[in-house]
Amino acid sequence: KHPHYFQEKAMLDWITHLGLLAQPMEHCTIGPYVKDICGTFPGKNWLARFLERNKDAVRYCRTAALDPKRARSFNYTTV
pLDDT at 13: 92
CB 57 within 8 A of CB 9: no
Give the separation between CA 53 and CA 50, rounded to whole angstroms.
5
Residue 50 belongs to what H/E stretch?
Answer: helix 46-53
pLDDT at 3: 67
| pLDDT tens profile 14-40 | 988 988 888 888 888 888 988 888 888
Give the separation between CA 24 and CA 2, rounded to whole angstroms.
27
∠ Cα 51 61 29 (to 5°): 70
| pLDDT tens profile 42-62 | 888 988 998 898 889 888 777
Q: Stretch 64-77: mean pLDDT, rounded?
A: 78
